[in-house]
Structure 1
Amino acid sequence: MRCFRRGLGAVLLAAAIGISFPGHASQDTPKSAPAADLSGLHAFDALVGTWTAHHRRLKERLTGCTEWEEFGGTFDFRLLMNGHANVDDSVFDMPEGRVHGVGLSAYDARTGQWAIWGLDGRNPAGRLDPPLKGRFAKGVGTFYADDTLRGRPIRVRVIWSNITPTSARWEQAFSPDGGKTWETNWVTGFRRTP
């Protein structure tokens, strides 16, 4: 086996396979990589499978509206990449008609956080929602993102809680003032399909 010197060829090869040469590290004293944080990796595992969903949503958001509408739906959830990612396929039987949505989540072992993106079936070629980022603590996952509503900046918060083999709860809230006050605008209860 040939030994490589740290010439241009070795640097290009290392870059191609993902190895970096830190400025002052040597082979005798390599810099250690941060330990992976896998504490929240399996937080969503109990959701694998098919669920029925009961949605309760404010008719208007951040307008002072207090009128809620309720509708059903389904939720199919599966793990990807050995649990480091997951995808859900949702059907919402909204009053205005059936809508599909997809959620994609990925776990970052460097930070111990999940990132969650949503794709709205009413405009599938539009844009992905900004990623919600956060983690689980004591069985409750709290995730935040910055977004806009009617052209104004808002803060979005999603909370996953009560995740068991047979039930789960999802809640969404918006803040118009950077997180000082929150309006809960959507709550979903999940029951596993028998």
Structure 2
Amino acid sequence: MPTGVALRDPRQQLFDAAVRVLVRDGVTGLTSRAVTTEAGVAKGVLHRHFADFDAFLAALVLDRIALVEAQATALRDTAGTGTVADNLTRVLMTLFDPVMVAIVVLVIARDELRTRLRAAGTARFPLVGEGTAMIAGYLTAERDHGRIAPDADVDVLAPTLIGAAQLLFTERNGDPPEPATIHNVVTTVLASALR
């Protein structure tokens, strides 16, 4: 990149580049050089904004966690509207997009990244834990609306839904499962809890 050309939002430009590299080339292809090359910036730009590559990756994951937390608020706001199964199907299809799946693999692959994320106060299993909390919060709100049984254990139902969805999304080669498949999982898991 030529000197003297200001970047509008270098952090976001680097995050977007990292996501493209991660989804396209996987964890092994995600290097600081690959990110800066993809972003079209000098390598020093990354190190000007982040202490090291793991600090950059931690910031990337925290940025995604913020998106999940915003999604959690929007999901809770749907409580009492539509159907519980439809609301959960939509959110699971969005939650487990290719970027989320790739970032989960990244977190699993890098010990130092997990250490930094735990120090930042993330769930024990970053992104998956926040997704589970999102589903539990929604199910609690639906229980308050009377659409989930009062004795339904949302702390068991939420990780069951997340785990089942994660398996469906990660066992595919490129193509996500059909919404009908996710809907079937949701209705099966919640069969005894739905009112």
TM-score when normalising by structure 2: 0.23
TM-score normalised by structure 1 residue count: 0.23
More helix by share: 2
In our comparison, the structure showing a higher alpha carbon Rg is 1
